Amino acid sequence: MLEICEVGPRDGLQNEKKILSTETKVTLIGKLIDSGITYIEAVSFVNPRVVPQMADAEEVMNQVPKSNGITYAGLVLSKSGLERAVKTDIDVIHIVTTTSDTFNLKNARRTVEEATQELTSVMKAGISAGKRAVGVLGTAFGCPYEGNVPFDRVLKTAEAFLEAGFEKITLADTTGMANPAQVQAAVSEFTKAFGTSIPLGLHFHNTRGLGLANILAGYNAGIRSFDSSIAGLGGCPFAPNAVGNVCTEDMVNMFHSMGIHTGTKLEELIEIAQWMEHNMERPLAGMLMKAGVCSA
């Protein structure tokens, strides 16, 4: 079965100008769980002055439904973020760094090597505190400033994370620069380097309309773990022109149309997307909630 990491409550909302209430965020998460989603990136522990939408991370985690089989993840970028995260009921810490020096220097004032050293140290502390760790490698398919990012640099960062105890790596297309052939090549290179026992996830943005094509390329290359966002919400406040993530209900519809089980209820996901569009008070990017499920 596929693993869907629903990032709407975090990545989906972080770039929105309209600040949703804690109650609305918790309601969204509850609806997603009812639709069959079991892995949710619910919050991020970042500076609230930089990302005000995430200022209530602790309160969200205090109120979300707690039940067996549901995994909550939270994004962490620093030691201070980890210190906040370990005091909550977060199950998995998503530690993020980009693999482009230019991108990192512009947004975090440190090189990839410096960030990797700091974040591996941070995560060792998180693992000691009983949290699981996933390493998310941004700009893995290209940087808006540098263009191509050599994949050996991506692999080097992944290796450092894995040696530090990270249980999984996710390759993230931060500004939507990937194409299907590149995705297949990246999966192949990762597998050659680390084998098939290391879980690999993929995170795509639909900036240039290739989100679902890249998901399918990853699936055909053997990947079974994908990030997506309800209604296609999303964008990175640190990346120019990064529009929404791959849309959850559109992705589920693609897989269901192909006879691939996702464990989710498509009609409920469509209803959640429409509910989110109402809450955001603007048109959202998801296609299925506008066109409906094909009955042919």
Pairing of strands 225-228, 92-98: unpaired
Kindly report, residue by residue over 103-134, the tens digit of the pLDDT.
Answer: 888 877 889 999 899 899 888 888 888 999 99
User: Cβ(116)–Cβ(160) under 8 Å?
Assistant: yes
Mean pLDDT, residues 67-77: 94
CA 160 – CA 285 distance, rounded (Å): 36
CATH class of segment(s) 3-291: alpha beta
51 in helix, strand or coil? coil
Q: Which of 144, 146, 153, 148 is nearest to 176 (CA)?
A: 144
- The secondary element (H helix, E strand) that includes residue 261 is none
Strands (E) across the chain are located at 3-6, 39-45, 71-76, 92-98, 132-138, 168-173, 200-204, 225-228
247 is catalytic: no
Residue ranges per domain, the chain?
3-291
CA 58 to chain centre: 19
CA 273 – CA 248 distance, rounded (Å): 9
The pLDDT > 90 percentage for the chain reads 80
Signed CA dihedral, 135, 141, 143, 147: sign only: positive
Q: Which of 5, 236, 247, 294 is catalytic?
A: 236
Side chain identity, residue 18: K
CA 136 – CA 168 distance, rounded (Å): 9
- pLDDT for the residue numbered 242: 59
Residue with tokens 């955001």, as numbered in its chain: 280
> Is this model's pTM higher than 0.75 or not?
yes
Kindly report, residue by residue over 256-273, the tens digit of the pLDDT.
Answer: 999 999 999 999 999 999
